[in-house]
Amino acid sequence: MADWHPISGGITAPKGYKAAGIAAGLKPSGALDLALIYSEMEAIAAGVFTTSQVRAACVDYCRQRLESKLSARAILCNSGQANAATGRQGTEDALESAQLLAQNLGIAPESVLLASTGVIGQRIPMDALRNAMPTLAGSISEAGGEEAAHAILTTDLVPKTIALETTIGGRSVRIGGMAKGSGMIHPNMATMLAFVTCDAAVSPHLWQDMVARSADKSFNQVTVDGDTSTNDTLLAFANGQSRTPAIKENSPEASKLEEMLTATCQHLAKAIARDGEGATCLLEIQVQGAADDAAARQIARTIAGSSLVKSAVFGRDPNWGRIAAAAGRAGIAFDANYLQIQLGEFLLMDNGQPLEFDREAASEYMQQAARGEYLQNDTVCIQVRVGNGPGEGMAWGCDLSYDYVKINAEYTT
């Protein structure tokens, strides 16, 4: 049983954090489009970024900042323009954005990190950003997390937030998180932004290691459509304001904190997959029996990312052959004579042999998972066993509907 519990407050639930979200005029719709996360004191900062060779200016900016300074106080995120593939001017816009926020907050520019999301090839409307910066800086509060979570959205249907609390060293420790993502979602990372705040005291290198490992078990295990982006960013702060003793590597306290961090990231990752463009249900792939966890995660990712599997789920077709084929092409060696496939409670294949099952009932299981109310009974679970090894892993995705094509066919028009 998890040694933590959910609490309210989202990104500002941990001690020492404030946030804000405003409508700066970056989106033609007039929706909230500029977000700020702020730590009242310098926080240890860690990041995981897209592996794409075409990167947004904010990604290169953050990577360079974190190479020289493993701490920060603020994250500025604009929504509507990716500021990717915008050349030298895009880089200059990013630098000016950090400087403007620093001036308005009274902090060093080196303490500002950046994120952007929106249409690739579009610069940030700097006049609007300049005019909005005093309002944004003046709006931060402990209650500002909800507005900030809305301000980072693009095609998302819902904001994605979480906060968890545990006890370490006799003191309360909290982690808060928020994320956005709905399309162009695939491992390494995905078209997603995720921000995490924590009030534990952790060394810079231990925090970076924790964040990277948590990303591997969450954001790098989620797929919607097989496309990664230019802007994928996970930024995480730890400011030490819980006043716990410093958490040391290979300690029970470190294990507990990392497990809670992973749970936070997995919640956000599943929320992204659940909100996939055009999706009607969440798809969870559980793989066991592989040689190691990395192999199991690879098989799970391949199944979750299969267009044929995703289409079958949308059609409520229990076509287990597509699952077997996806597992077989994952690039992981296993003996097909041990292959077992289960859909919900329906065992479809065992020891490499197809089984008789109630196809109508299995189809109804997937139909029932089709989204009714957000976060309620909307998960299609596929369990796969490939042998007797100790490796296990999970991945998350969604079905592939007609609406996905419609949304992306008209994205810029």
Catalytic residue set? 191
Give the contacts of 137 (CB within 8 A, at least 6 positions apart).
Answer: 20, 36, 101, 104, 105
Kind and range of the H or E element at 43? strand 34-49
Here the tokens at position 367 are 């139909």
Residues near 234 by Cβ (< 8 Å), separated by ≥ 6? Answer: 47, 48, 49, 189, 193, 194, 195, 196, 211, 215, 219, 265
The length of the chain is 413
Give the CB-side neighbour count of residue 178, counting CA atoms within 13 A.
28
Q: What are phi and psi of 180, to 5 degrees?
A: -140, 150
User: Residue 237: CB partners within 8 Å, gap ≥ 6?
Assistant: 17, 37, 39, 43, 44, 45, 72, 75, 196, 197, 198
Q: How far apart are CA 160 and CA 195, in angstroms?
A: 11
Backbone angles phi, psi at 3, to 5 degrees: -95, 40
Can you spell out the DSSP letters for 313-328? HHTT---HHHHHHHHH
